Structure 1
């Protein structure tokens, strides 16, 4: 990161009138006059704001949380002989890519006033494709790729970025904390779904009904989310002002930050895809290995909340840089991990710091929207950032899978992933 990018890490300063409003109406809707003289409600707390946080939490549980369980599918597909580890990882990385990259069109639709329609369509597509996975054969690669990689990825992408960006409509002073609570849903999903899927796949239920059972959980979460999430704009408001794309695409700190996260995404997801397989092939008791993803995601919960709270005080960039560095160092530490205790300790530490890194990306992007005129289309910045960094998520784990090959020389994959996570320092 450059010094300039760190200096951009503070939330936009409030005007004198906004400070007066916050001091007199904390925790309740504040009111300001629009240019047309109509009332514009801005929430920094209150029922609608908190319901949107809960709804966003349900979205991230069902989407990113489910994606965090892909290590279970990676293990199942690899051991069933569906394809090579590299080809299988393309399924999960494609899902991650579209989960992030679809934020660009989803953000644009949101700014045009189609938030509700976008999330409803994304919910239907995501649930439909998840049930399609249940009727696919685990050893038929193309069926799984189309349903789980493409279909679920596109559906999740139409949900995830709008659910996170929506919090900027409701929050100012505690925006990073609100976003941190929302993305904590991915930790909850990362705890529930790996345990659930492992128990169902390895038990009498089997693959098909195991996937369907998880699909019903996802369906319930998305129904709740669509009922609770609401935009925070006056009813008479039209589409947001047209964004100044030239200003965004020539914003050097913004572009350098995207580049840094791109390289980090090459390496940071490696344990989420391969830790369960790594543990089993290194002789760790399968009963423990099956819980590594759940442990990692459980420890990411405080990682998604505590650093976000600190980010509101010290700035999101000052919080994200040490967390990203810790991820790279911990991946190199896997060279010495071959015991149950080592795997558990790694899972706890990596879960905390990777969860912090992933949850702080959104506040970092939001903190760069310092121009008050950008408030209406901050989701465009989210969409561009997530779309470009999604390419790193798309290609990172397939590259590590190719490095592993059929003989699993783990040193190559560890070096690649660790160096990728530490590449932010030259930037």
Structure 2
């Protein structure tokens, strides 16, 4: 009898996934270090606004970060296909070179010359980390099956840890050695991390060896209503996802939070991200990714509208930063986990690529939209920004819940278009 387990349909019974061991955990360590480099823009945002690009508007500086995030996810549509064909053999070394070179160019940027920062940080650095991000996630599917969500959570925790450490490193180094050398030192730190990634990350399962950019984006996933709803939900969620990360310090300054506290708010958010990218993965391996994803997104909606919106003092703002960081981290680790559970293994890279293109589009316009809503830093404009962000989060949560309902056994049994040809109702409840 044909198996009704979607993962069993993806991976033939002859494939024995290690789900642990030295080789598998070495890949996790390398992937974690690769994603450590992706915590880029938030580290530099404050310095750009206050010093390097002091004549540029907040929305202009935010657009640099949007470009980086856009390229991170958009180039993932291509790296996913390259990974399916050749694995990580070329992608990780190329990403290492481009990422480090981009930081060296950032260190040479001149004061109030935004085009230099746009090109080096927004474009080049974004492309570099894109060559690392998608392959570092996708390669885990070669080594983990039952513990895949945990492995992805541990890996994406590397990005969050970078967001904690890099701002502190720059904060301490800039007064001592200046911005240029501070960025170069960070570049050398990332070089050391990425050299380890080049050695430890490797594929295990057979690769196609065929590369056709015509199939770089696998649109076939949109025939599955679960995938389509997940794409809509991801667009809505990621449209507003980064807004608190970019504007929390500006809000804290507006509310009179002491500088000694305000400057560490981003580090607090990223520190809280670490457990929220690991623990949800562990739980999701047992319950299904959407049973963790949807409640986390719902809590973020409540935090945005119920805590950030009325916050007026240091305690409430710090509480929001910590709690939003704690629950929003699940978005990053559980979205690819969910896509992995509903995609054939041989198309996983391309399916992730198509999903990341959706996320890229949302991320590109998200923070500049926030900047446009915050033309003037006052009560009314901040209220509009926070309500806008909260409404997007609530709408995205609802759509992701609908994806879980479509994926449930009881509904799929009655919806032929919810099952693949010849597939019986799934025993795994994705919601």
Q: Does 1:125 align with 2:95?
A: no
Alignment-derived partner of residue 209 in structure 1: 181
Aligned-pair distance for 1:377?
Answer: 2.6
Aligned-pair distance for 1:115?
Answer: 2.1
Alignment-derived partner of residue 198 in structure 1: 171
Q: CA contact under 8 A between 1:41 and 1:232: conserved in structure 2?
A: no
Aligned-pair distance for 1:276?
Answer: 1.6
Match of 1:248 among 213, 221, 225: 221
Write the deviation string for residues 109-135 of structure 1: whole angstroms up to 9, x where unpaired. 111115211221121111101110000
RMSD: 2.3
Alignment-derived partner of residue 222 in structure 1: 194
Aligned-pair distance for 1:206?
Answer: 2.2
Alignment-derived partner of residue 354 in structure 2: 384
Aligned-pair distance for 1:17?
Answer: 8.8
Task: Provide the rounded CA distance (Å) in 1 between the counterparts of 2:82 and 2:10.
Answer: 29
Alignment-derived partner of residue 52 in structure 1: 27
Q: CA contact under 8 A between 1:72 and 1:194: conserved in structure 2?
A: no
Aligned-pair distance for 1:392?
Answer: 0.4
SS at match of 1:173: coil
SS at match of 1:424: helix
**Residues 186 and 396 (structure 1), Cα distance of their counterparts in 2 relative to 1, 3 Å cut:** same
SS at match of 1:204: helix
Q: CA contact under 8 A between 1:68 and 1:189: conserved in structure 2?
A: no
Task: Provide the rounded CA distance (Å) in 1 between the counterparts of 2:248 and 2:382.
Answer: 11
Q: Does 1:86 align with 2:76?
A: no
SS at match of 1:231: coil
Alignment-derived partner of residue 185 in structure 1: 158
Alignment-derived partner of residue 402 in structure 2: none
| 1:328-339 mapped onto 2 (5 Å cutoff) | 328-332=301-305, 333-339=307-313
Task: Provide the rounded CA distance (Å) in 1 between the counterparts of 2:348 and 2:12.
Answer: 22
Q: CA contact under 8 A between 2:53 and 2:114: conserved in structure 1?
A: no
Alignment-derived partner of residue 305 in structure 1: 278
**After TM superposition, which residue ranges in structure 1, 4 or more long, deviate above 6 angstroms?**
14-17, 240-244
Q: Does 1:324 align with 2:297?
A: yes
**Residues 281 and 210 (structure 1), Cα distance of their counterparts in 2 relative to 1, 3 Å cut:** farther
**Residues 241 and 170 (structure 1), Cα distance of their counterparts in 2 relative to 1, 3 Å cut:** farther
* Structure 1: unaligned runs, 5 residues or longer: 1-9, 19-31, 33-39
Task: Provide the rounded CA distance (Å) in 2 between the counterparts of 1:150 and 1:101.
Answer: 11
SS at match of 1:12: helix
**Residues 336 and 69 (structure 1), Cα distance of their counterparts in 2 relative to 1, 3 Å cut:** same
Aligned-pair distance for 1:247?
Answer: 3.3
Task: Provide the rounded CA distance (Å) in 1 between the counterparts of 2:12 and 2:183.
Answer: 53
| 1:235-274 mapped onto 2 (5 Å cutoff) | 238-239=208-209, 245=218, 247-274=220-247
Aligned-pair distance for 1:336?
Answer: 2.2
Range with greater deviation from structure 2 (392-401 or 131-140):
131-140
Alignment-derived partner of residue 420 in structure 2: none
**Residues 329 and 16 (structure 1), Cα distance of their counterparts in 2 relative to 1, 3 Å cut:** closer
Q: CA contact under 8 A between 1:164 and 1:182: conserved in structure 2?
A: yes
Match of 1:420 among 392, 395, 414: 392
Task: Provide the rounded CA distance (Å) in 2 between the counterparts of 1:17 and 1:108.
Answer: 21
Aligned-pair distance for 1:293?
Answer: 0.9
Q: CA contact under 8 A between 1:263 and 1:421: conserved in structure 2?
A: yes
Task: Provide the rounded CA distance (Å) in 2 between the counterparts of 1:279 and 1:394.
Answer: 24
Q: Does 1:72 align with 2:42?
A: no
Aligned-pair distance for 1:327?
Answer: 1.5
Task: Provide the rounded CA distance (Å) in 1 between the counterparts of 2:347 and 2:210.
Answer: 6
Aligned-pair distance for 1:107?
Answer: 0.8
Structure 1 length-normalised TM? 0.86
Q: CA contact under 8 A between 1:104 and 1:386: conserved in structure 2?
A: yes
Q: Does 1:358 align with 2:353?
A: no
Alignment-derived partner of residue 105 in structure 1: 78
SS at match of 1:111: helix
Q: Does 1:12 align with 2:7?
A: yes
Q: CA contact under 8 A between 1:260 and 1:423: conserved in structure 2?
A: yes
Task: Provide the rounded CA distance (Å) in 2 between the counterparts of 1:229 and 1:167.
Answer: 9
| 1:128-139 mapped onto 2 (5 Å cutoff) | 128-139=101-112
Alignment-derived partner of residue 370 in structure 2: 400
Task: Provide the rounded CA distance (Å) in 2 between the counterparts of 1:113 and 1:212.
Answer: 32
Q: CA contact under 8 A between 2:35 and 2:155: conserved in structure 1?
A: yes
Match of 1:291 among 258, 264, 271: 264
Aligned-pair distance for 1:277?
Answer: 1.9
Task: Provide the rounded CA distance (Å) in 1 between the counterparts of 2:108 and 2:119.
Answer: 12
